Structure 1
Amino acid sequence: RPMYFFLCNLSSLEIFITTCIIPKTVASLLMGNKTISYPACIIQSYFYFLLGSTEFVLFAVMSYDRYVAICYPLQYPMLMNSQLCVQLLLGSWTAGFLVTVVPTVLVVRLPFCNANRIDHFFCEGMLLIKLSCAETQTVELINFMTFSIILLGSLVMTAMSYLYIINTILRLPSASSRNKAFSTCSSHFTIVILGYGSCIFQYVLPSSHHTSYYKIVALLNTVVTPLMSPFIFSQRNEQMK
């Protein structure tokens, strides 16, 4: 049940992220009106990073859930009780809020003079900062540090969980047990690879902002991965089917 509880929340997050970006993008393409108001741009940027940051913390939480299920299977129902699951979920949202609110406040306080064109299909914080006519080096550094902390911090926790998981699986006596344990984690591991890979390219590698692949990777992160998630999680799961 904890696994499906977290999957339900992951699905909700991906729906919210897609809803935050895609309707406006599709409307712009169909109607030819590619303008967006300043308040709407700030709100879109804020919720995109809030939901994205929360999702990465949830990845780490889900990897911990798999760690407990495989490394401590007999104690799993007791350790991953409903109270802890709710606390972990609230912790994910709290971490996402805290890491997003300060950079957003700093962006709102920036002056914008003449430049008002974003080379992207939605309002993305780092590109919005570059439109300011003020000195933005400090704001860019704070944005880079906060999102690197949430991204790399959750990645380290996820990697540690999987190291313990792999170590436990390799010590299982039978091949069928090892295959069953690996299949339990394969879906989550695939989503983790897609999510972290695309976002590290976007936000941790500074040179990525100057490449033609930036928007393609953003499209992968906001459309393709949420679209593929239901198929990835149900492919080897009879209950999901």
Structure 2
Amino acid sequence: MARRATLLSRVTQGMPPGGVLLQVAGPYEFMEPGDAEAPAGSLEPMAEALTRLSPDILCLAPEESALLSRAGVIPPDSAVVLDQTPVTRIITRGGVRIGLVFFPVPDKPGGHPGDKARSATVRAARDLRGQADLLMGISPWGSMAEEAFLTANPGLYDVLLGGGPGFGTPAAPEPVPGTLWARSHTKGKTINRLDITLPLKKMDAPWTPGTTFRAELLNPDHTVPGDPAIQALDPTTPSMAAAPLN
């Protein structure tokens, strides 16, 4: 987490003039999918670390929210608790209206979403599309379910930040050209950075690497010094997706 803070600080300091940053922290920052408890002694320092990092959005799985409540730990104000139905938000950054659809959680942590959940996620995107310049999905479904959903609904979302079981990958217009799909590696092994060029491309145009977007994985390895203030908290190290718009 301390190294992640250093990398995020570098991203912020290196933003081009007029660039804006949207930080999204995915679910399962506090515990792994399917776990009954978080690592002993980690809840309070993790919550404090995330508060200091100030993500614009912190997704919480329902079991994480319940765990924090039982422990009397207050999550950051930016927390959004995922539900059995899609949750939507609109955030404006640099004059760009970003529509966020938080995908519903499967009935069982790590499980696949059912037909009802997939249909509701399609409807949420269509309902929000007219109110947003950029439509972004945030998913805990895992790589297999996300890939199947994108293939069945090409271009429905402009960006999908994936989470849950499966592989990690920088943002790329795959498996469909109209949606950038990014997945962070687990346990904070990388930070997924996505730069989107303004003005935005036309909605029906494909994403073009180096022209309409750039993507990279930032590696918080041993060569990155930890932020001293965060290091002093000694939390566990989760994953975060950072999506700058410039």
TM-score of the aligned structures, taking structure 1 as reference length = 0.28
TM-score of the aligned structures, taking structure 2 as reference length = 0.28
Structure ranking higher in strand proportion: 2
Point out the structure with max Rg over C-alpha. 1
Structure ranking higher in helix proportion: 1
